[in-house]
Each structure stands twice: as C-alpha cells, then as structure tokens.
Amino acid sequence: MPVTHASRTTTTSTKDFKNRIPLGSSFFKKVNPKYVLALIVLVWSCAYGVEWYRDQVVGQSIRVDVESIVDGDTFVATIPSITYFHYPVRARFRLRAIDAPEFDQPYAAQATTELHDLIHPKNGFAADTEVICRVWGKDPWGRYVADVVIRQGLYSRVLNVQKELVRRGAAWSFPRFQK
C-alpha cells in the first residue's frame, strides 16, 4: 500500500512490521541476564541496605551526633558507630514518654529552643560531652523512640533530657508514648 509524504512516496509491507523489534527489547537480547540481576541487587542494596543497618540500634545505647532539631520532642542525628559505605547513618529520634507542642500549637518555638539548648553541640559542649540515646523501638512514622541523656566526662554528670524538658515546662509527661 503506497504512503504519500510531502515529496515522496514509499511502500510498506507487513513483512517490515513483523521483523521489527520493539523498542528496548534489543537491550535484553544483547546483555547477559547475570549483569541485569547484579544491577537489580545493587540498586536494592543501596535503597534498602541502610534500613538493615538502622534496625541494629533498637535495644542499644548509642552515642549520636545531633544535627538538627525538628520540634520540641524530635531531632535528627547521625550514628557514627554505624556506617554505610563509609558514611554515618542519619536517623530521626523522638523523645520517649513526653510530648511537646507541635508547630501549630502555642509555645512550640519555645519548646524547640529548649531542646536545642540542651542537646545541640553548637551550644558550647565541652570536649568530653556526649549525647547518648537508649533506643526502645520505632514509632509509626519511622522515628526511633529513645531515652536521651547528656553525659559529661566518663562518669561525672548525667542529665536526662526528658526530665529536664518537663522540669523547664517545655514538655509534659505523656505515658502513651512510653513505647
């Protein structure tokens, strides 16, 4: 059947359509399936391998480096003792057994500032000060639920962050968040 274009006429046959390979299928004919499988495994390990490392911290006490404060009871920290491809793993932590005002509630900024003043390293921590998290598990939003203490020196002074926030009036005890 002749097909007319702007200045030329061509004929196409049904044989041309039968022998034509669909777009993309030639790639799979040329590539060894072992390489495709290796690529899939590599992508999967990069995407989900970090979660395997992160689940190792549940039930342990770990030292963390605080990066940022999200709100009055949540912060983001790196876990230097667990690395993934030589990079420390980042995680979100929620303080156990307390609740603080959320963004749209009164005194939310003050609660966030109080937590920042307690645990953020830019507040002039001494060289031997550490933030230690006792991880109890994960909440439905994927945050680690943890008890947090600040330790200065090896055994000299320990400050429980949750108790201090309640004492300062920046948070309240909330037994529902015990676990």
User: Model pTM?
Assistant: 0.69
Q: Pinpoint the alpha helices (H) of 14-172.
A: 14-19, 25-30, 33-54, 108-119, 161-168
Taking 60 as the threshold, does the pLDDT of residue 120 lie above it?
yes
For residue 47, give both structure tokens: 């995407």
The better pLDDT of the pair 86, 36 is held by 36
Q: What is the architecture of the domain spanning 5-178? A: Beta Barrel (2.40)
Determine the Cα–Cα distance for residues 48 and 142; give it in Å rounded to an integer: 14
More confident residue, 123 or 64: 64
Sign of the dihedral through C-alpha 69, 70, 75, 77: negative
Q: pLDDT tier at 162 (50, 70, 90 boundaries)?
A: very high
Would you state the pLDDT for residue 56? Answer: 76
Q: Average per-residue pLDDT in the chain?
A: 80
